[in-house]
Chains A and B, each alone.
Chain A
Amino acid sequence: MAQQDTAWMKSPDGEVREVAVKDLPPLMAQGWHQTAPPAETKQEEK
């Protein structure tokens, strides 16, 4: 089954980028939180 194995994350400084699940732990330990994808990404999906 195809899986979306990435998440859009936002850093404490406001940086937003797509992160693979395997790379989440160190970022989350630094205070990154899941966020909505950027508007331009939603446009591309359309």
Chain B
Amino acid sequence: MANINELINFWSYGKQTDIVTPQVIANFWRLTNLNRKEWPQNPVSEDDAAEIGKGHEFATQLFKSHYMPPEYEINKYLSSEWAAWGFSFALGNVVKTGTGPYTYTITPILGATNPTSLELPYFTFTQQIRPGGSAVLDQSFVGCAVKSLALNVNNNPGRQSATLRAGIVTSGKYVEPSGLTAPSPTTLHEMGAGLLTALTINGIDYFTSAKNFLSLDWSWDNNFRTGFFPGSGSQDGFQIQGRIEIGDRAHGFRYVARFLNGSTELTKLRALTTGTCTITFTLDGNNSLSIVEQKMGFRAAVLDEQDGIVTVAVTGDPLYDSTNGLVTVTAVCPQNGICQ
């Protein structure tokens, strides 16, 4: 038997050339995961129970259908490197500059202009428990993509004050045993809520003047289309997906702040005021994260209370600006090659 604490994950920070070609181990990193579960492979099979002619209603035979691993969560405390990776693979249009540290400027892909059309960058994910002759688990999933991304910032101290959670999916293609040796763990540069250096939402500066911010939930979902089609491929007789394409993507922005005399959230909601939104974490000159919503309006502002203090829960409405687009993320970190 094996202890779940023996589970190790490592995945590529570099992108695959296509959905079926795994990345090379040189472009992998080994990171920890707050999700303590393995990623199930989930082979789907069918039977003949519904077919007439057997003389009864029971199934007599199983048939292989397809691999459909569920969405798997990589949940980590926010760090410059992890942010660069998560936003790069979730949004897809990445420009890398610098020679160390490296600046990653990231925007959402547009299907019409993206070199890979509706497909986001793919990566390879490996999970192992005691790899080798007596392996308990040793699989590489080829052709993985980030389906969802969620940034949470809250007002409780500690590492959990800022977390970035990625929901990933895969084509179903796998390599077992992986044939890979896990690299040494990568040291990340974490950035908690205390390292926020800018927090302005629709003209309201919550960092410098109005020190009333309580929590933020930034979310992204690529709403992938299913990638099974004639000729998409198979492994072990189970069909696998040949593409993972974005659907109608969803972007959410919610936050909670204290509500007091002079608060303008309700005023801006009633006036349909829009403005940019800037959220910046800065650890040092080599590690930072900046999220700029190019045109933010408010959809709802509901008064509530938290710990007995009057609050306002605002649902933002990220809009697409005709010049600057929807959102621009800039991540600076020492790690080269992210999504390259």
Show the binding face of A for B, using Cβ within 8 Å.
Answer: 1-7, 9, 12, 21, 24-26, 28-34
Cβ contact within 8 Å between B112 and A28: no
Using Cβ atoms and an 8 Å threshold, which residues of chain A touch B328? 24-25, 28-29
Using Cβ atoms and an 8 Å threshold, which residues of chain A touch B113? 12, 30-33
Residue from B100, B107, B110 within 8 A of A25 (CB atoms): B107
Given A25-B107, A30-B325, A33-B113, 18 more pairs with CB closer than 8 A: A3-B98, A4-B97, A4-B99, A5-B97, A7-B97, A7-B105, A21-B103, A26-B323, A26-B325, A28-B105, A28-B328, A29-B107, A29-B323, A29-B326, A29-B328, A31-B114, A32-B113, A33-B95
Residue from A3, A12, A28 within 8 A of B95 (CB atoms): A28
- In Å, the complex CA distance between A4 and B103 comes to 10
Using Cβ atoms and an 8 Å threshold, which residues of chain B touch A31? 110, 112-114
Would you list which residues of chain B between 75 and 126 have a CB under 8 Å from chain A? Answer: 93-100, 103, 105, 107, 110, 112-115
CB distance from B105 to the nearest CB of A (A): 5
- In Å, the complex CA distance between A33 and B325 comes to 14
CB distance from B128 to the nearest CB of A (A): 33
Cβ contact within 8 Å between A12 and B115: no
Cβ contact within 8 Å between B98 and A25: no
CB distance from A19 to the nearest CB of B (A): 9
Which range contains the number of B residues in contact with the other chain?
A: 20 to 34
Q: Is B321 interfacial (CB-CB < 8 Å)?
A: yes
Using Cβ atoms and an 8 Å threshold, which residues of chain A touch B323? 26, 29
Using Cβ atoms and an 8 Å threshold, which residues of chain B touch A24? 95, 105, 328
Using Cβ atoms and an 8 Å threshold, which residues of chain A touch B155? none
Using Cβ atoms and an 8 Å threshold, which residues of chain B touch A34? 94-96
Binary flags per residue of B316-340, CB closer than 8 Å to A gives 1, else 0: 0000010111101000000000000
From B113, which residue of chain A is reached at the shortest CB distance? A31
Q: Is B301 interfacial (CB-CB < 8 Å)?
A: no
Using Cβ atoms and an 8 Å threshold, which residues of chain A touch B285? 1
- In Å, the complex CA distance between A2 and B103 comes to 13
Report, nearest first, the 3 A-B pairs whose CB atoms are least far apart.
A31-B113, A29-B325, A28-B107
Q: Is B292 interfacial (CB-CB < 8 Å)?
A: yes
Most chain B beta-carbon neighbours within 10 Å: one of A2, A24, A29, A31: A29
With A25-B292, A28-B328: A33-B93 Cβ-Cβ less than 8 Å: yes
- In Å, the complex CA distance between A39 and B131 comes to 45
CB distance from A39 to the nearest CB of B (A): 20
- In Å, the complex CA distance between A9 and B326 comes to 19
Cβ contact within 8 Å between A33 and B321: no
From B94, which residue of chain A is reached at the shortest CB distance? A34
Using Cβ atoms and an 8 Å threshold, which residues of chain B touch A28? 93, 95, 105, 107, 325, 328
